[in-house]
Amino acid sequence: MREVAVIGIGLTKFGELWNKSFRQLITEAGSKAILDSGIEGKDIDAMYIGSMSSGRFIGQEHIGALVADASGFSHMHIPATRVEGACASGGLAVRQGYLSIVSGVNDVVVIGGIEKMNDVGGVSATETLATAADQEWEAFFGATFPALYAMIAKRHMHKYKTTKEQLAQVAVKNHANGAKNPNAQYRREIPIEMVLNASPVATPLGLFDCSPVSDGSAAIVMCAADIAKKYKDNPVKIIGSGQGSDTLPLHGRRDICTLDATVHAAKKAYKQANIKPSDVDLAEVHDCFTIAEICAIEDLGFVKKGEGGKAIDRKITTLDGTIPVNTSGGLKSKGHPVGATGVAQVVEIVQQLRGEADRRQVKNAKIGLAHNVGGSGATSVVHIMEAM
């Protein structure tokens, strides 16, 4: 099977970016990635754009065409496709681009992830995020998106004795990492008391257990592995790619505390890469809420089911731990412009594997994993990468 490498990465700052429009954000990230990659515009075979809900956030659909146009590629008529999988839109866009190269149809693709969430009011933004849940059978009855993860947390605490302190430590760790990330939305360490005493959103989750509403964009350039060195000295190969789906509503899952879509996607990716979870040196996981990170490290196989909380206590996922998780600051501290997240995770892994992660650098990082989830776990996509 043909192999794929990442040769360029680009990122905007994440945050409340009043001065930047949707078009400005995607073109900023896109240009950075293209300039970083060594390719020229004429080399691009296709674009895949991840954006969860541009329709509700900025009243605009037809994003593929919009991005191709804003990037200046319309006169070249480059195929441009928008991919959607709620919060996994970015990761899915990466996978679609990856599949198109593996299949032999494309040689060079640009993947963009973008979300502009602040143009609508806060109430509207949270209601739009809730469209990742089941509108008829969850949201209609009053369940909010944080409430779904809160219910996972409640059950996880009931079954595995996970504590609020362990949840809070995830936020503290991620903010400590984000403080070292110049593009992060929040670049300040926070004490655990701030997390524990934060105003409740949906018990047991408080304000600081939840990732923020953000604007931002991330982009990567991928090409067939055998031509990568033509463009870039230090390409990063995608050695495993997996995707899984599960019931839309949380109540339909086999086990409320397990995101089976992640387990499935990870298994596929590990198998393709021919590695075990313990071979992974660092991971960017989908911490839309602190509990999500705890479930992620279990579902990705880094620790046994139910041991996620204890793992946090043992500090194995800190920057200098045995499996650093979310060195970028995660969704919690880096920010979560929904469609951009999955692509931004790949950007972080690539930076780490190239040795360009500066103050966040994990020593001897050889294999990295990016994990992106949609909704309360109905979609999951995992990519494993290795420096070439």
Partner 1 sequence: MKSNVARFWREIPQRYNLIGNKCNSCKKVYFPPREACPYCRRKSYGKMEEIKLNGKGKILTYSIIHVGPEAFEKQVPYPVAIVELDEGPRITTQIVDCDIKDVKIDMKVESTFRKIQEDGYTGALYYGYKFRPLRNKK
- Active-site residue list: 87, 336
Residue 107 C-alpha from the chain's centroid: 24
H or E element, residue 49: strand 46-50
User: Residue 38, Cβ neighbours under 10 Å: how many?
Assistant: 18
Distance between CA 347 and CA 40 in Å, rounded? Answer: 20
Single out the residue of 19, 123, 274, 320 in contact with partner 1 (rule: CB under 8 A).
Answer: 123
User: Residue 87, Cβ neighbours under 10 Å: how many?
Assistant: 28
Taking alpha carbons only, the member of 334, 327, 329, 297 closest to residue 313 is: 297
Taking alpha carbons only, the member of 220, 183, 184, 178 closest to residue 10 is: 220
Minimum CB separation from partner 1 for residue 129, in Å? 11
Minimum CB separation from partner 1 for residue 162, in Å? 13
Token pair of 11 as six digits: 């990122």
Distance between CA 329 and CA 341 in Å, rounded? Answer: 12
Nearer to partner 1, 18 or 141 (CB): 141
The answer to the question of residue 320 lying near partner 1 (CB under 8 A) is: no
Cβ atoms of residues 207 and 199 within 8 Å: yes
The answer to the question of residue 346 lying near partner 1 (CB under 8 A) is: no
Minimum CB separation from partner 1 for residue 255, in Å? 11
Nearer to partner 1, 253 or 354 (CB): 253
φ, ψ for residue 116 (rounded to 5)?
-120, 95
Single out the residue of 4, 46, 80, 130 in contact with partner 1 (rule: CB under 8 A).
Answer: 130
Which residue type does 287 have? D
Q: Find the part of the chain contacting partner 1 (CB under 8 A) among 16-24, 38-46, 160-168, 243-251.
A: 243-251
Token pair of 290 as six digits: 């602190």
Nearer to partner 1, 280 or 291 (CB): 291
Taking alpha carbons only, the member of 239, 240, 230 closest to residue 265 is: 240
Minimum CB separation from partner 1 for residue 151, in Å? 4
The answer to the question of residue 147 lying near partner 1 (CB under 8 A) is: yes
Paired with 240 in beta bridges are 384
The answer to the question of residue 141 lying near partner 1 (CB under 8 A) is: yes
The answer to the question of residue 161 lying near partner 1 (CB under 8 A) is: no
Single out the residue of 204, 240, 308, 368 in contact with partner 1 (rule: CB under 8 A).
Answer: 204
Q: Find the part of the chain contacting partner 1 (CB under 8 A) among 9-17, 87-95, 233-241, 251-259.
A: 251-259
Minimum CB separation from partner 1 for residue 128, in Å? 11
The answer to the question of residue 245 lying near partner 1 (CB under 8 A) is: no
Minimum CB separation from partner 1 for residue 141, in Å? 5
Q: Find the part of the chain contacting partner 1 (CB under 8 A) among 36-44, 69-77, 147-155, 229-237.
A: 147-155
Residue positions counted in the chain:
388
User: Residue 378, Cβ neighbours under 10 Å: how many?
Assistant: 24
User: Residue written as tokens 């294999």?
Assistant: 367
Nearer to partner 1, 81 or 144 (CB): 144
Single out the residue of 103, 105, 137, 233 in contact with partner 1 (rule: CB under 8 A).
Answer: 137
Cβ atoms of residues 39 and 228 within 8 Å: no
User: Residue written as tokens 């190969």?
Assistant: 237
The answer to the question of residue 155 lying near partner 1 (CB under 8 A) is: yes
Single out the residue of 50, 90, 97, 146 in contact with partner 1 (rule: CB under 8 A).
Answer: 146
Pairing status of strand 80-83 against strand 46-50:
parallel
The answer to the question of residue 239 lying near partner 1 (CB under 8 A) is: no
Minimum CB separation from partner 1 for residue 180, in Å? 30
User: Residue written as tokens 């990465």?
Assistant: 9
Distance between CA 149 and CA 116 in Å, rounded? Answer: 23
Single out the residue of 16, 140, 314, 359 in contact with partner 1 (rule: CB under 8 A).
Answer: 140
Nearer to partner 1, 28 or 138 (CB): 138
| Residue ranges binding partner 1 (CB under 8 A) | 123, 126-127, 130, 134, 136-144, 146-147, 150-155, 158, 199-205, 249-252, 256
